[in-house]
């Protein structure tokens, strides 16, 4: 009888060690090593193949001798998901979707399995029974399609036997932390099991050109549970974000080998499932009956999609001595930098004021083009003077108070004009090559932050 072998794995990064270590030499985390029993299989035959035929070893090929093939994508029927994936689902790709519990990952994947046209989908669940999935399917759609097959199984060996007999066009696994392989003698959800199960599914996807969707759990700090190598192994990593107490959900691309890694999809959660939001600017801009101070509209970009977002600021006297600085959806350090620019270049004394910043809609923005809108919203709240709801901003602010140019300014201007804005503030340096005559919206070009304040508050 073969002797079992044990090893120690870091629960944070997956680093393997022959003995227990107090501190991981890879990620420098303390007390993260856990002993797991592992057993290497003698024959490295893919577990999804029933026969043990020999495979020919790969040989190096000159790059100019490699035959070029056109990339074929499968449309999922979900425009938001197709946009985030870069135009559709690529054959043989492995896609990992992470998000908080109850955010809607399983609902999104079941909708994909039920609505994708002309494809045989295998939905593998290790967390729910067939009856639970059927109840959700009836809630999502009145007539669940017969081409969606449900399999409640956690053993990869049994899963590949069913795959071999069914031959599906697409596979969805809910979730990767529940699977276990017989090649590894450790509990499901451990670092070695997650790595082995993902490797088996990855090899299956690449050799059969079958797309595989993996749903992953996340830890308390928001990262996907399991070793970091899991995100490196897959082709695409998607993050499903949002507040369970709000109706809107955001699908964000973190890594994508077949498209841009900065795309964004927006959904609205209803009783009958997730619904696509085709025009996110309308939901991110609040509908108010009267003009209020501390609100400014900015034109931003998420991937290839232009959006108008609302920046809200509140400036008040510091009630507890030390001023508070807080922001939701925007980097607090960058907000502190912009406040220093206001004090140094414009003379506004905010060192004794509490400053609170919020990006409406619950989204997180890293685009520097919203700098000008943030400064205008802060001064609007400080002086208690409202900004017209027909004015928007698209410019970056430098440390010397200069208004810097931003990329793809024409898309931002077109989005503002489409939504009925009458005036947009941009940088002087964005005028080069810009055809102003084709826009009906008034374009105001400025070079310094003092010019903006004189035009708005002077």
413-448 pLDDT, tens per residue? 999 998 889 999 999 999 988 888 889 999 999 999
Instruction: Tell me what percent of the residues of the chain surpass a pLDDT of 90.
Output: 46
CA-CA distance, 237 to 215, in Å (whole number)? 10
- Predicted TM-score (pTM) of the model is 0.76
Which pLDDT score, from 0 to 100, does residue 391 have? Answer: 94
Is the pLDDT at 309 greater than 80? The verdict is yes
- Burial classification of residue 152, based on how many CB atoms lie within 10 Å of its CB (0-12 exposed, 13-18 middle, 19 or more buried): middle
CA-CA distance, 144 to 121, in Å (whole number)? 12
CA-CA distance, 316 to 319, in Å (whole number)? 8
Residue 107 has phi, psi (to 5 degrees) of: -65, -45
Which pLDDT score, from 0 to 100, does residue 204 have? Answer: 94
What CA dihedral angle connects 344, 346, 347 and 348, to 10 degrees?
A: -100
- Burial classification of residue 29, based on how many CB atoms lie within 10 Å of its CB (0-12 exposed, 13-18 middle, 19 or more buried): middle
Which pLDDT score, from 0 to 100, does residue 43 have? Answer: 41
Cβ contact 234:214 at 8 Å: yes
* pLDDT tens, position by position, 66-122: 887 777 788 888 899 998 998 899 999 999 999 888 888 999 999 999 988 788 999
- CA proximity to 180, closest of 166, 196, 165: 196
Of 346 and 1, more confident:
346
- CA proximity to 294, closest of 302, 303, 286, 304: 286
Cβ contact 90:73 at 8 Å: yes
CA-CA distance, 149 to 80, in Å (whole number)? 24
Is the pLDDT at 50 greater than 80? The verdict is no
β-pair type (236-242, 94-99):
parallel
Across the range 26-44, mean pLDDT stands at: 72
- CA proximity to 157, closest of 48, 1, 274: 48
* pLDDT tens, position by position, 238-265: 999 877 777 888 898 989 998 888 788 8
For the chain, the helix, strand and coil percentages under 3-state DSSP, each to the nearest 5? 30, 30, 45
């Amino acid at each position: 009888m073969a002797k079992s072998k044990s090893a120690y794995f870091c629960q944070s990064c997956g680093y393997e060690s022959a003995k227990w270590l107090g501190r991981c030499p890879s990620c420098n985390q303390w007390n993260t090593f856990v002993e797991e029993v592992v057993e290497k299989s003698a024959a490295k035959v893919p577990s999804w193949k029933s026969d043990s035929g020999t495979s020919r070893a790969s040989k190096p090929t000159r790059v100019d001798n490699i035959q070029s093939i056109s990339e074929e994508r499968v449309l999922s029927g979900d425009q938001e998901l197709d946009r985030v994936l870069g135009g559709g689902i690529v054959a043989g790709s492995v896609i990992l979707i992470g998000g908080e519990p109850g955010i809607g990952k399983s609902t999104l994947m079941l909708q994909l399995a039920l609505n994708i046209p002309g494809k045989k989908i295998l939905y593998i669940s290790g967390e729910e029974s067939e009856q639970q999935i059927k109840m959700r399917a009836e809630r999502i759609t009145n007539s669940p399609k017969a081409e969606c097959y449900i399999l409640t199984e956690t053993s990869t060996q049994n899963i590949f036997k069913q795959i071999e007999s069914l031959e599906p066009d697409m596979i969805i696994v809910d979730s990767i932390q529940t699977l276990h392989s017989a090649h590894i003698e450790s509990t499901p959800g451990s670092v070695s099991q997650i790595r082995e199960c993902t490797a088996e599914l990855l090899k299956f996807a690449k050799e059969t050109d079958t797309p595989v969707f993996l749903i992953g759990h996340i830890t308390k700090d928001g990262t996907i549970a399991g070793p970091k190598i899991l995100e490196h192994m897959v082709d695409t990593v998607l993050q499903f974000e949002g507040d369970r107490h709000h109706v809107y959900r955001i699908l964000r691309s973190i890594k994508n080998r077949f498209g841009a890694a900065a795309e964004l999809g927006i959904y609205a959660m209803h009783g009958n499932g997730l619904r696509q939001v085709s025009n996110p600017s309308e939901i991110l801009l609040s509908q108010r009956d009267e003009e209020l101070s501390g609100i400014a509209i900015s034109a931003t970009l998420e991937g290839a999609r232009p959006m108008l977002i609302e920046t809200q600021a509140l400036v008040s006297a510091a009630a507890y001595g030390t001023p508070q600085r807080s922001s939701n959806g925007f980097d607090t350090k960058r907000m502190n930098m912009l406040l220093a620019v206001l004090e140094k270049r414009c003379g506004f004394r905010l060192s004794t004021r509490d400053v609170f910043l919020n990006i409406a809609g619950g989204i997180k923005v890293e685009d520097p083009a919203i700098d000008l809108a943030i400064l205008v919203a802060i001064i609007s709240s400080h002086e208690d003077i409202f900004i017209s709801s027909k004015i928007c901003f698209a410019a970056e602010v430098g440390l010397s108070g200069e208004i810097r140019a931003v990329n793809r300014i024409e898309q931002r201007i077109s989005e503002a004009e489409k939504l009925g804005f009458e005036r947009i503030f941009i940088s002087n340096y964005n005028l080069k090559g810009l055809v102003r005559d084709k826009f009906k919206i008034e374009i105001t070009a400025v070079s310094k932050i003092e010019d903006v304040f004189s035009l708005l508050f002077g």
